[in-house]
């Protein structure tokens, strides 16, 4: 995981997005929520691969299911905006609360903003 981040940043070792993607995918496949979260973020932004909101949402769902609070928050944003998934404000709120309950500040801010 840390090695993949170094490949993305390219500060300590030469930037190699292909290698970073391979490492994040391996971590994700092994059940790492953080690996799925990072790979989902890259798919959402089109970093090292074509932009793919649907794939990003699938990866973020795996991340959230594996316990990544940020993955839950990012997936909530996908549902709130309909990026890669059908827009669903109720599901977005559930994901933001789950992220918040796990200590994600952005999830808390988004959950608070959606309260009636």
Task: Identify the CATH homologous superfamily for domain 2-113.
Answer: Tetratricopeptide repeat domain (1.25.40.10)
Per-residue pLDDT at 115:
63
Q: 51: which DSSP letter? A: -
Checking if the pLDDT of 91 tops 70, the result is: yes
Per-residue pLDDT at 69:
97
Q: What is the pLDDT of residues 25-34, one digit of tens each?
A: 999 999 999 9
Structure tokens at 111: 């959950």
Report which of 77, 15, 19 is spatially closest to residue 45, judged by C-alpha positions: 77
Q: What is the DSSP string of 73-98?
A: HHHHHHHHHTSSS---HHHHHHHHHH
Per-residue pLDDT at 1:
59
- pTM listed for this prediction: 0.89
Q: What is the pLDDT of residues 17-72, one digit of tens each?
A: 999 999 999 999 999 999 999 999 999 999 999 999 999 999 999 999 999 999 99
Where do the domains of the chain lie? Answer: 2-113
Poorest-confidence range of 1-10, 52-61, 81-90?
1-10
């Amino acid at each position: 995981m840390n090695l993949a981040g170094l490949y993305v940043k390219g500060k300590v070792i030469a930037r190699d997005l292909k290698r970073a993607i391979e490492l994040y995918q391996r971590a994700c496949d092994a059940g790492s929520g953080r690996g799925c979260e990072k790979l989902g973020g890259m798919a959402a932004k089109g970093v090292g691969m074509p932009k793919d909101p649907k794939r990003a949402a699938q990866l973020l769902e795996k991340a959230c299911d594996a316990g990544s609070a940020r993955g839950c928050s990012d997936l909530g944003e996908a549902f709130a905006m309909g990026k890669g998934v059908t827009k669903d404000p109720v599901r977005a709120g559930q994901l933001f609360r789950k992220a918040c309950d796990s200590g994600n500040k952005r999830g808390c801010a988004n959950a608070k903003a959606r309260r009636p």
